[in-house]
Structure 1
Amino acid sequence: MMNYSTGQAEYKNWCVAEERFDSQFLGKAEAIFSLGNGYMGARSTTEERYVGEVRNTFVAGTFNRFAENEVTELPNVADVIAMEFFFNGTRFDLTLGKIHHYKRQLDLKRAELVREVDWEAPTGERYVLEFRRFVSLADRHLVGQRITITPLQETTLRVISGINGQVTNSGVQHFIEGEKRLYEEVYLQQVQKTTESKIDFVLNTTHRFMKQDTPVQVKGLIQMDRRKIVYDFKQIALQANEPFVIEKLSTIHTSRDNDQRQADYTLESLREESLTELKEAAAAGYEAKFHQHSAEWDQRIWSALDIEIEGDDGFDQLAIRFAQYHMTVMTPAHDHRMNIGAKGLSGEGYKGHTFWDTEIFLLPYFIYTQPKVAKSLLEYRYQTLPGAHRKALENGYEGAMFPWESAWLEDGEVTPVYGAADIVTGTATKIWSGFIEQHITSDVAFATWQYYQITGDETFMEESGYELILDTAKFWSSRLEWNDAAKQYHINQVIGPDEYKEHVNNNAFTNYTAHWNIQKAMEYKTVLEQTKPALYERLDEKMNLAKAFAKWEECLPLLYLPAIREDGVLPQDDTYLSKEIIDLTKYKQQTHVGSLFEDYNLEQVNEIQVSKQADVMILFYLLEDLFDQKTKQANWSYYEPKTLHDSSLSLSTHCVLASDMGETDLAYDLFSRAARIDLGPNMKTSDHGIHAASLGGIWQSVVNGFGGVRMLNGQLRINPRLPKAWDRLAFPIHWQGERLECTVTRDTLDIKQVTGGQPVSFTHDGNLYTIEREIQLTLQPQVSETR
């Protein structure tokens, strides 16, 4: 059904296509074909409607809570995409009649969705239709559609199209209905307001009709219904084989837009401004606005950030472009009050909330390629400090305790309390992550430090970064629990990255990263006191750093760090290694994630040596200099057979580590599996939206894994290891304000410094080198082992 090799010539490895329509599997294409620009995202439902579809349009950062017992979520905005077509009275519906040709294709290069249909109606009449669509990267408020209809016989066409606010979030209506208006007989406008957050939304749409590239007037009847305004264009006479074109341009604006924060904001002014913008777009037309959009994609993304993979399988090249495409359309680069949702803007999954996915899996891509965007995402975390402080206080702690799921800046924790069904008890399973999955706090600190080391952005650190690291360390020192018998500080009752183990004590990832967080805070406290006294005084006034430092000094040497056993295994927590071992073959070979829960409930899984995702292994990735290669190999051998990779975050981490260990065959297999989470043949994996963090992980697999790029304590290291399937890999990275272009072949590593600034030093195979414009190194032959 899906085809990833349809692109030809200059579009080779740029296209993702669906070649057969099946109404049972609508979600796959709706999600992976989703369009967006970071401001808004539109799930790619078809114009005509089908049972089982999920029509979603989201504007980043516009959260609302429906009721007291609900959690904040992104509201599903009124639908501007839907259109109904009737040919001689027969509704256009692909579940009826006969399809002679069907192809829907997302062109990643130009970020345009194109659908081609040759349809025979139940009456025997045939119609050829082409649907084109984009969400503009050049104008963040604009959605464009262009439909070309060619009947093979004389036809009377009826089109119903407009703005439909009857859509919901799985039954939840987040909007109060506002005024609906028709202006100048061609411009439709609908106003909505969120029920709790009181955000105004103004949607506008207009239509233009053409025959033989000449505009024609089509009369219609304006209709208004509850939360809905549409035009009903009746009795459009079409000649046989004569193309008829419908252009529909729509805009979406909100009162939360960062250009609407001025003190004199009024809804009326927003309505006027948005309508004026639509009129200007309509005057230009679809093709002109699309050209601006595709040019923006080329300039901002593909000409600047394209990664080239030459090898046996063009799918690998497509996969990294697919990842970069979606990381662009889902990231609110325009506004530092917003962050990335776990499903981007492509579906209702996880309600648009931000997780550790951003800091650990997505942020590295932006740090190395678009540092300004990375800074904006971290500034979001800084602005959520009030909510993090409130969560800490509510739990009896100090400092900043970041929420596991985050939405509004002020919200604090927004994780739902209950989730999926417990197959044993028949009740809803409690979601403990919002209460006890606390490593998110050190994840934010680590991401802050990583950004600083790679970019050297001292201004950010002075404005936000130092405070984030110090405030999170305050939380950890207050979170530690004294164990009198062991004469140590422990961290009890937590969930680590492996969410199949709840209420554990001394999760290795949590303890080690908390230790790192406190240690880094102590280092920066001393540096600030000595070199930036004014800044130190300001932060000391906020956090009482002298008192905090005394606590850090006292507790850090006594913070328990799980020790490596004689067999080289680092215990994931106090009890993991003593739990029951079962045969996991059935679940390791599963065709869909989560099959374990068809046989066990979460309480039972908690007592088995089975992991959802990388836990100890991701610790080795982030803090790799703390562990030697022998230890990493021993833990891989122990934990990977027990890891089901039921989280989309897991495969890419294991890919990078396998590459580090020189096992490139295994690494490539893991990369291929990660790349197929959304792009693979399974037609149900993406129903709730794309897997945002996994896409960041695909980039890490390519650049940090096979490209060998790593930051270790402020030093750039590049140790590439190409898989056998690849002959050449080329990618750009930014380091300390300089742009480097790296090209790896089987024999050479070539690095060009294209910005002409300060020389850049890096290590390769333990040797230190300096780049002055360009350097080329000869690579040692690789030996790859296959497990």
Structure 2
Amino acid sequence: MSQDTDLLWLVKETQFDSQKLGKYESILALGNGYMGIRSATEEHYVGEKRDTFVNGTFDQFDDTEVTELPNVPDVFRLRLWVGGYPLDLNTGQLSHYQRTLNLQTGELTREFRWEIGEYALQFASSRFISFADRHVLGTKIVITNLGKKPLPIVFESGIDGQQTNSGSQHFSDGEKRLYKGKTLQYVTETNQSHILVSITANQDFSVGDHSTIEQTRTLMPRRQLLREYTVSLSPSEDLVFEKNAAIYSSRDNDVVYPDQNSLQQAGLKRADELVRDGYVSNLHQSAEAWRKKVWGKMPITIDSNDFMDQLSLNFARYHLHVMTPAHDARMNIGAKGLTGEGYKGHTFWDTELFILPYFIFNYPDIARKLVTYRYHGLAGARRKAAENGYRGAQYPWESSWIEDGESTPIWGPADIITGTPMKIWSGFIEQHITSDVAYGINEYLNATQDNLFGRTYGYEVIFDTARFWTSRMNRSENRQQYDINDVIGPDEYKEHVNNNAFTNYMAYWNMQLAQKLIARLKNEKPEIYRQFDQKMNLQQLAIDLADCLAHLYLPQPNAEQIIPQDDTYLSKKVIDLTPFRNAGKVDEIFDHYNLSQINDMQITKQADVILLLYLFEKSFSSETKRANWDYYEPKTTHDSSLSRLTHSIFAADLGLQDEAWRFYEQARQIDLGNNTNSSNDGVHAAALAGIWNMVIFGFGGIRYLDGTLRITPNLPRKWRSLDFRIWWHQQQLHIHETHDRLEIENLTQTHPVKFTCRENEYELSDRLVISMD
């Protein structure tokens, strides 16, 4: 790489600080969607989180806790003593420190010089998780003696099963064994879900010609399998350690393992193959997979003077692929990806409204798996609806394994006033998730025209989510309308409200979508209609939908064009939010008020009405949009990482360039910025997807509305051009935008593509150039 190219692809830690471990463990994390590992340092420090996750292996510690993604044994574990001194960068003299994540190749490297007592060494390490083979990972460490006398080293590495989820141990002690003097295998099982995990690591250890390996031992403490090497390293010579490992689980879908022995044998066979190829070859295969599957397949280029524009986009895309289980539709994306214990690995509405668009437009095959996951969870959604006295399917606010159903914890942190734990009501009444699921499926169908998916999976979800809403209506005799009472909208600072605008409009849209789909199938695909009617009684559903659509209350703009967020929001107390909007930490307001007090104020946590206006832009006038922006944005604390990205895109739509840019700059720094504690519990998955959303939807002006593609560039003044590709209706489009023109080329050319630009309609067969003057 050239120096300029380095700036676009390398994320660096240039100064070691053991008090700021969490952020770098998260943002430098490695993964491939099957597994993810926080990038803890090789040596150990108080407060570190050595998390390794295998996607889909959810387990419940006991009946008082919800299911979570368990922390599997650590492969990158290392302990090192130099002349009796433990490697600890808080001691001795440290220089030339640098840790670097190469986003292009997925390799993490680290190097430094360390002097302690009469000894001096150069330390260089590298590690990766393979993007070519989901089961493979590796590390290489080189230690060079910089002193003038032999360097006594005790080097200990292996597999460490003492890891927990903040104290909860999800695995049995397991079986440990050493093969052929250098292959370690640790097989363990989750306690409740009984998922077997096999970790096999082949360790190669060598020293220079004049150095000696004085002793090699195998250690098997409780829940650990280790190899210890005692070495005398001569001046200027190297100690070279290479570990190539493979992880398998009984939940894998690429191979079926009938018993534990077959799982063990799969690991041993792969470990032997890896050691024959070696670290460099395994890394090369992984880097080539990154190039072919991601960077070379759907390139995106921002031409600007600030390298952070491109770097932040590359960083976001790297993490989106690191966290996404492209291999398995039984799994989805956690709110923290695979980079930390935050939110227990659970899936939220984040997937449908914020993450899914990236995959729909770039990798529709992966998007199909993400929406298929919701079909696999349909039984759990039906079960939740029935338990709550409703019909149809009520999707869990937090989802984990497809059979687990609602996974939201019941209790949260302490109330600042009462000192008692606060109940987490989201799992009970934040019900817009049900419409959000249908929304994501419909967006996938609109963009891809994947009718087979609709017939096989999607339509059934759309019908049963709509059926849920027909049973969720609250009949208001006084107002002769149907209300949706006692809910939480996107603004989670408002609990137990009636007629949250976002919830009501989304429910209406969900029911209307089902109504239109029933009519279309009945008229155009009568055989498919009959099949669904026999299975789901579409005739009765159509009657219920017509009734609810005729009576559901949809909050309308008042005389000032303000859409009430809920029935009481506009009558609540207004306070000065300046101290909290400018606070250096999230949820600063809870240091001054409890949730009950905040519930009685006009304070919004994140985009609520603004999100509604963004999603349904054709349903509201420009005057209404601007009036609600002016009203709600000053009342929003943006305490959710989802908020600023929505505001940036909406501001770009309104032509508010300065505001769009300000929110874009703030949103892209949530993980990659200077806040040292912002990512301690893991990266913010939806906010990272939001970087792509802001670039492509906000500034690129791409939108898909009711099945129609809209392209209206809103390039920032600081950008010269934006170049990207998208998939639309099975055609790959190459789009190049500047301030004065729009160039579009159909790279697939199997059929024309219709789109709109500035209210004008176009049909693209091969290439078009449109003036933006």
Equivalent position of 1:244 in the other structure: 239
CA distance in 1, matches of 2:262, 2:177: 15
1:561 maps onto 2:554 in alignment:
yes
SS in 2 for 1:175: coil
Deviation at 1:532, TM superposition (A): 2.3
Within a 5 Å distance, the mapping from 1:200-599 to structure 2 comes to: 200-211=196-207, 220-234=216-230, 236-261=231-256, 265-599=258-592
Question: 1:61 aligned to 56, 65, 83, which one?
Answer: 56
Equivalent position of 2:763 in the other structure: 770
Tell me, yes or no, if the aligned pair for 1:11 and 1:109 is still in contact at 8 Å: no
Equivalent position of 2:73 in the other structure: 78
SS in 1 for 2:497: coil
CA distance in 2, matches of 1:177, 1:228: 9
1:167 maps onto 2:163 in alignment:
yes
Deviation at 1:215, TM superposition (A): 13
1:99 maps onto 2:98 in alignment:
no
Structure 2 letter corresponding to 1:152: L
CA distance in 2, matches of 1:506, 1:193: 46
Deviation at 1:9, TM superposition (A): 4.0
Question: 1:180 aligned to 169, 176, 184, which one?
Answer: 176
CA distance in 2, matches of 1:142, 1:210: 22
Deviation at 1:325, TM superposition (A): 0.2
Deviation at 1:642, TM superposition (A): 0.4
1:135 maps onto 2:129 in alignment:
yes
CA distance in 2, matches of 1:135, 1:180: 23
Deviation at 1:213, TM superposition (A): 11
SS in 2 for 1:644: coil
CA distance in 2, matches of 1:650, 1:742: 28
CA distance in 2, matches of 1:58, 1:278: 20
Question: 1:704 aligned to 685, 693, 697, which one?
Answer: 697
CA distances 1:524-548 after superposition (whole Å, capped 9, x unpaired): 0111122223322222233211111
Equivalent position of 1:617 in the other structure: 610
CA distance in 2, matches of 1:509, 1:614: 10
Question: 1:144 aligned to 132, 138, 150, which one?
Answer: 138
Deviation at 1:757, TM superposition (A): 1.6
Tell me, yes or no, if the aligned pair for 2:733 and 2:747 is still in contact at 8 Å: yes
Equivalent position of 2:706 in the other structure: 713
SS in 1 for 2:459: helix
Tell me, yes or no, if the aligned pair for 2:57 and 2:69 is still in contact at 8 Å: yes
CA distance in 2, matches of 1:478, 1:7: 61
SS in 1 for 2:499: coil
1:32 maps onto 2:27 in alignment:
yes
SS in 2 for 1:560: coil
Structure 2 letter corresponding to 1:183: Y
Structure 1 letter corresponding to 2:89: L
Count matched residues. Answer: 771
Flag the 1:209–1:364 CA change in 2: closer, same or farther, 3 A.
same
Gapped runs of 5+ residues in structure 2? none
CA distance in 1, matches of 2:454, 2:208: 59
CA distance in 1, matches of 2:725, 2:194: 43
CA distance in 2, matches of 1:471, 1:324: 33
Tell me, yes or no, if the aligned pair for 2:652 and 2:699 is still in contact at 8 Å: yes
Equivalent position of 1:664 in the other structure: 657
Task: Give the TM-score normalised by the residue count of structure 1.
Answer: 0.96
Equivalent position of 2:677 in the other structure: 684
Deviation at 1:37, TM superposition (A): 0.1
Tell me, yes or no, if the aligned pair for 1:208 and 1:215 is still in contact at 8 Å: no
Question: 1:21 aligned to 2, 16, 20, which one?
Answer: 16
Deviation at 1:218, TM superposition (A): 8.0
Tell me, yes or no, if the aligned pair for 1:59 and 1:77 is still in contact at 8 Å: yes
Tell me, yes or no, if the aligned pair for 1:306 and 1:321 is still in contact at 8 Å: no
CA distance in 1, matches of 2:212, 2:86: 23
CA distance in 2, matches of 1:152, 1:55: 30
Tell me, yes or no, if the aligned pair for 2:212 and 2:232 is still in contact at 8 Å: no
Task: Give the TM-score normalised by the residue count of structure 2.
Answer: 0.98
Structure 1 letter corresponding to 2:35: M
Structure 2 letter corresponding to 1:227: R
CA distance in 2, matches of 1:566, 1:210: 79
Tell me, yes or no, if the aligned pair for 2:207 and 2:213 is still in contact at 8 Å: no
Tell me, yes or no, if the aligned pair for 1:209 and 1:218 is still in contact at 8 Å: no
Tell me, yes or no, if the aligned pair for 1:445 and 1:517 is still in contact at 8 Å: yes
Flag the 1:214–1:611 CA change in 2: closer, same or farther, 3 A.
farther
Comparing 763-772 with 477-486, which one deviates more in the overlay?
A: 763-772
Alpha carbon RMSD of aligned pairs, Å?
Answer: 1.5
Equivalent position of 1:738 in the other structure: 731
Equivalent position of 1:3 in the other structure: none
CA distances 1:419-474 after superposition (whole Å, capped 9, x unpaired): 11110000111100000000000001111111111111111101111111111000
CA distance in 2, matches of 1:44, 1:254: 22
CA distance in 1, matches of 2:113, 2:187: 37
CA distance in 2, matches of 1:752, 1:367: 19
CA distance in 2, matches of 1:30, 1:179: 29
Equivalent position of 1:783 in the other structure: none
Tell me, yes or no, if the aligned pair for 2:213 and 2:232 is still in contact at 8 Å: no
Deviation at 1:248, TM superposition (A): 1.1
Gapped runs of 5+ residues in structure 1? 1-5, 781-787
Structure 1 letter corresponding to 2:757: H
1:631 maps onto 2:627 in alignment:
no
CA distances 1:383-436 after superposition (whole Å, capped 9, x unpaired): 100100010001000001000000111111110001111100001111000000
Flag the 1:736–1:215 CA change in 2: closer, same or farther, 3 A.
farther
Structure 2 letter corresponding to 1:17: K
Comparing 765-774 with 353-362, which one deviates more in the overlay?
A: 765-774
SS in 2 for 1:304: coil
Tell me, yes or no, if the aligned pair for 1:151 and 1:242 is still in contact at 8 Å: yes
Flag the 1:70–1:214 CA change in 2: closer, same or farther, 3 A.
farther
Comparing 723-732 with 291-300, which one deviates more in the overlay?
A: 723-732
1:647 maps onto 2:640 in alignment:
yes
Identity level (%) = 49
SS in 1 for 2:641: coil
Equivalent position of 2:186 in the other structure: 190
Structure 1 letter corresponding to 2:678: T
Equivalent position of 1:784 in the other structure: none
Tell me, yes or no, if the aligned pair for 1:729 and 1:745 is still in contact at 8 Å: yes
CA distance in 2, matches of 1:199, 1:19: 40
Deviation at 1:587, TM superposition (A): 0.6
Equivalent position of 1:113 in the other structure: 108
SS in 1 for 2:321: helix
CA distances 1:262-296 after superposition (whole Å, capped 9, x unpaired): 6xx11101101111101100111000000000000
CA distance in 2, matches of 1:214, 1:570: 79
Deviation at 1:157, TM superposition (A): 1.8
